[in-house]
């Protein structure tokens, strides 16, 4: 019997731009993907706002990512354009953008590691990324001020969690300030206590979501 094929109508949510250009013209449905490929899922859309989508980031998005970051974190904590560029050269598949009508309005990124918590050297040394690592870290998770309180950010976080699960990770890790512990708990993260990280001179808490 001839095997049925499925045409790719849209670029999968968590496929990088480089990988997307190499995608075959057909793929198997969820749960039956070819070995070594990502789960072929459609770009994520918000049911409340169909103009909101989540897609992979590209080098051409560096300026937009830098602007989103600058509007979300104080100078001592934000990632610079140079930092984003260095990370994108090593782990571009670990960047996702939230877009409204095609315009980037949110960002999430982080390297993959075997360490169960985030340490400060990870923020500056992209070579610490281990594509075979157990944990997907989250360095930054932010949306533009005008998008806050509109239910947009959860769409981005859930897509990133789904990506990590599909890749067979053990879970995700992040650090946050005390006032945001409850916010991340709604996604399934557990407070592991005060972090050893002193990034930006702040007090952080380790948060872990284990599948």
Of 76, 95, 208, 203, residue with least CA distance to 159:
95
Q: How confident is the model at residue 119 (pLDDT cuts 50, 70, 90)?
A: very high
On whether the CB atoms of residues 91 and 111 are closer than 8 A, the answer is yes
176-184 long-range contacts (CB < 8 A, ≥24 apart) are 176/204, 176/205, 176/207, 177/202, 177/203, 177/204, 177/205, 178/203, 178/205, 181/205, 181/207
Of 158, 167, 103, residue with least CA distance to 135:
167
User: How many whole angstroms separate alpha carbon 79 and alpha carbon 34?
Assistant: 36
CA angle 145, 148, 151 (to 5 degrees): 155
Check whether 7 has a pLDDT greater than 60.
Answer: no
Check whether 198 has a pLDDT greater than 50.
Answer: yes
pLDDT at residue number 27 = 26
Q: How confident is the model at residue 26 (pLDDT cuts 50, 70, 90)?
A: very low
- pLDDT over 90, % of the chain: 74
Check whether 38 has a pLDDT greater than 80.
Answer: no
For the entire predicted model, the pTM comes to 0.78
Of 110, 158, 118, 117, residue with least CA distance to 136:
110
């Amino acid at each position: 019997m001839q095997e049925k094929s499925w045409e790719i109508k849209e670029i999968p949510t968590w496929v990088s731009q480089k990988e997307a250009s190499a995608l075959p013209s057909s793929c198997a449905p969820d749960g039956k993907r070819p070995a070594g490929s990502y789960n072929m899922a459609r770009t994520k859309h918000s049911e409340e706002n169909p103009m909101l989508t989540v897609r992979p980031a590209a080098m051409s998005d560096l300026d937009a990512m830098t602007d989103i970051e600058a509007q979300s974190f104080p100078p001592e904590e934000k990632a610079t354009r140079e930092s984003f560029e260095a990370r994108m050269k090593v782990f571009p598949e670990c960047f996702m953008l939230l877009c409204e009508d095609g315009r980037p309005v949110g960002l999430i990124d982080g390297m993959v590691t075997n360490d169960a918590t985030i340490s400060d050297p990870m923020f500056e040394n992209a070579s610490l990324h281990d594509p075979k690592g157990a944990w997907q870290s989250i360095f930054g998770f932010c949306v533009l001020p005008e998008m806050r309180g509109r239910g947009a950010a959860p769409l981005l976080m859930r897509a990133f969690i789904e990506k990590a699960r599909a890749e067979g990770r053990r879970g995700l890790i992040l650090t946050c300030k005390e006032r945001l512990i409850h916010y991340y708990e709604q996604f399934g993260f557990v407070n592991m206590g005060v972090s050893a990280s002193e990034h930006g001179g702040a007090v952080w808490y380790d948060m872990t979501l284990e599948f």
